[in-house]
Amino acid sequence: MEAKPAVPAPAGKTGRVGLRRKLRAYLLLTKPQVIELLLVTTAPTMIFAAGGMPSLWLILNTMLGGAMAAGGAGAFNCWIDREVDRLMKRTERRPLVTGEVSDREALIFAWALSAVSVVYLSLAVNLLAGALGLVAILLYVVFYSLFLKRRTSQNIVWGGIAGCMPVFIAWAAVQGTLSWAAVVLFLVIFLWTPPHYWPLSMKYAEDYQRAGIPMLGAIASAKAVSVQVVLYAWATVICSLLLIPVGGAGWVYGLTALGAGAWFIWTCHRLHALAMAEQATSRTAMVVFHASITYLTVLFVAVAVDPFVGGAVL
């Protein structure tokens, strides 16, 4: 009888991991793709809060401190979810699954990076930014990862609050306080998170079911999910327009918010139409996922450009 070829064990569990792979593994622990999305909102918010270009050093310090805070929270999340990640194809290449980083190393790294981020924001930016950085870490690690994620299908809604914190940190960095305009930007990201993430959970429904995580896309029908996606998309766009009366945004932001918002809503309605016709697939769901990223990026580019153009919408 022919012997079956041996399946190689994860790197890190059978031998030493090279320095380059180790450093890359630590980088992956921080979930850089999430950090990148968060930073997209930071600099534009600072520019809008300043009514122009703030100090370059202030922008760099805020973005670096925010990236470290998000990275530390991401590393904690990888440690908390390490057993679940081993059950999901989407996360099978994460460092704690492959063994490139040990559980102990990941936990130490998460604590160290989180602590450094709070100290850095407090000293290099201001105390309010540091305090908000700490709140963001606690929201993502404790409120979302430990408490909500495995208990409710609304996990990503309320857990998404952590992802809204960068705009508060950015605003506090410039103004030293918060304002209603900052609250509007916070709510835009809060309302945007479900139509951004739920289509992704539709694609990876089997993964979440296997892991026992009640993401809405894994436990509800495509029709039910698409209805929620449409409702949240409308709420996001309507909320974005509040920055005009509340924050004094001008015509560049107003036209962009209307145009990009209309396109985003149309994309979500298309997913709903396909779901109602029982033709929705993981591919069509991912169209909305990618569209949501484009929408948020375009919206915050407008936030950054608007102060330099000036002029009210009306």
168 plus 30 within the same structural domain: yes
Mean pLDDT across 276-293: 92
74 plus 45 within the same structural domain: yes
48 domain-assigned: yes
| Summary mean pLDDT of the chain | 90
Mean pLDDT across 35-51: 91
- Cα(178)–Cα(63) distance, integer angstroms: 18
What pLDDT shows up at residue 13? 47
62 plus 106 within the same structural domain: yes
Q: How far is CA 73 from CA 106, 115, 117, 150, 306, in A?
A: 11, 10, 10, 17, 32
Its pTM surpasses 0.85: yes
Residue 72 dihedral angles phi and psi, to the nearest 5°? -65, -40
309 plus 197 within the same structural domain: yes
What pLDDT shows up at residue 12? 41
pLDDT over threshold 70, residue 78: yes
Q: How many domains does the chain have?
A: 2
What pLDDT shows up at residue 19? 83
Q: Which domain holds residue 145?
A: 26-178
User: In this structure, are residues 262 and 299 in contact, taking their beta carbons and an 8 Å threshold?
Assistant: no
- Cα(11)–Cα(29) distance, integer angstroms: 16
At 15, the pLDDT band (50, 70, 90 cuts) reads low
31 plus 140 within the same structural domain: yes
What pLDDT shows up at residue 20? 86
pLDDT per residue over 118-133, tens digit each? 999 999 999 999 999 9
Q: Give the dihedral of Cα atoms 79, 83, 85, 86; nearest 10 deg.
A: 130
At 42, the pLDDT band (50, 70, 90 cuts) reads very high
302 plus 221 within the same structural domain: yes
> Among 135, 161, 178, where does a domain finish?
178
Q: How many CB atoms lie within 10 A of CB 175?
A: 16
Mean pLDDT across 165-181: 96
> Among 120, 155, 178, where does a domain finish?
178
pLDDT over threshold 80, residue 4: no
What pLDDT shows up at residue 140? 94
Question: How buried is residue 2: exposed, middle or buried, by Cβ count under 10 Å (0-12/13-18/19+)?
Answer: exposed
Q: What is the DSSP-derived secondary structure letter of residue 250? A: B
